[in-house]
Amino acid sequence: MKILHVLPSTFGAGGMERLVIQLAGDAVSKGDTVVVASGPGAWEEGLAEAGGAHVTLPATSRGSAFGMVMATARLAGCVNHLRPHVVHSHNVRATVMARLALTVTRHRAALVPTVHGMAPSDYRRASSILRRITLQVIACAPSVARSLEVTGFPSSRIEVITNGAALQPATLERQSHLRECLGLGSAPLVAGIGRLVEQKNWPLFIEAAHRLEGPLFAIAGDGPLRQELMDLAQRSGGRVRFFGVVDDMAALMGVASCIVSTSSWEGLPLTLLEALSLGTPVVATAVDGVTDIVPPTAALLVTPGDPEAVSEAILRVLTDDSLSANLRQKALAAALEWQPERMLIQYRRVYQAAAAGQHPWA
């Protein structure tokens, strides 16, 4: 089977990209050919290690008709060359490009779109577009499916495949190496992990850090708001360090005393699920994409937008050993529900049905 993944932007360090690498590695291990078409990004090397190939598309952005035309033309060339059996598009812009490329080339391939989550205000337009250009969509989480349904996409045309996420614990040697590389001292590490974008509400993390003395607060990730957030952190007492992208995420979660997610919305936060799979105590805002998957006993879930609630929850984790031990136990138990193997099996069945022209992908 030949599978072409289409991403709407660069192949950077994000949950969508991690999912694609997982899917590529699984498909290649079963003898499939996998190509990913997207803008360039830091995780192309990870894709190559999984056995997938990469085709670089021109950059696209919302409202850029020229960029869409150029990217679609390049994608059409990729379709003509690869002749895929399945085109797996990720989010709305990629699905539009994939549909146009298939139309232009007149190549008959099954289009399998996955919706990974988006800002709440974007769902109505997304549902309207998807309703017209695709027969069926996959939602990465129950909250995404609900948002699509509420904004007009028929529930009968939605399949939910919850993203799988798990990490193997890092060895003490790897953790020690990371401590040395990052210059970590003996203070407890409170880490936020993710792209430096508005969705993640990093100002809330910075405000919570400003309220607590003693722990080392750090943000691991990169993105367009990096300088703005660094300036804000400096004005707020300089208590937050910016690590950039950390390659050994399991080691970081291993040395952290607490992982914090302050997102305003989530489709499904893979980094959070990975932290829980290692038993690292988690404090997270109780947004839909979190509360759907994470039991309230497995993490401390707090009111979105409330810095006092975040700082109080962090303090509880750092000062109450029995609470931390209980969170670890409950997290490890809950993580069995989102093992990657289950997700990979479900996607494999979709690919096989789509390639065979079976309903509803025909």
- Domains of the chain by residue range: 2-164+340-355, 172-338
Residue 63 pLDDT: 62
The alpha helices in 3-155, defined as continuous H runs, are: 15-29, 44-50, 65-82, 92-105, 123-133, 142-150
For the four alpha carbons of 93, 1, 164 and 173, in that order, the dihedral sign comes to negative
Overall fold of domain 172-338: Rossmann fold (3.40.50)
For residue 333, the surrounding DSSP H or E stretch is helix 321-334
What's at 162, amino acid-wise? Answer: T
Question: Which three-class secondary structure state does DSSP give residue 4?
Answer: strand
Residue 297 pLDDT: 94
Question: With 0-12 CB in 10 A as exposed, 13-18 as middle and 19+ as buried, what is 216?
Answer: buried
Q: Indicate the average pLDDT of the chain.
A: 93
Alpha carbon distance 280, 116 (integer Å):
25
Q: Tokens in use for 226?
A: 């990096």
pLDDT < 50 positions in the chain: none
* Cβ-contact 131, 108 below 8 angstroms: no
Domains 2-164+340-355 and 172-338 are alike in CATH topology: yes
pTM given for the model: 0.86
Residue 44 pLDDT: 78
Residues 74-88: b if buried by 16+ CB within 10 A, e if exposed: bbbebbeebebbbbb
Residue 4 pLDDT: 98
Residue 61 pLDDT: 67
Of 91, 100, 122, 78, the closest CA to residue 15 belongs to 91
Q: What is the CATH number of domain 2-164+340-355?
A: 3.40.50.2000
Alpha carbon distance 138, 95 (integer Å):
12
Residue 359 pLDDT: 83
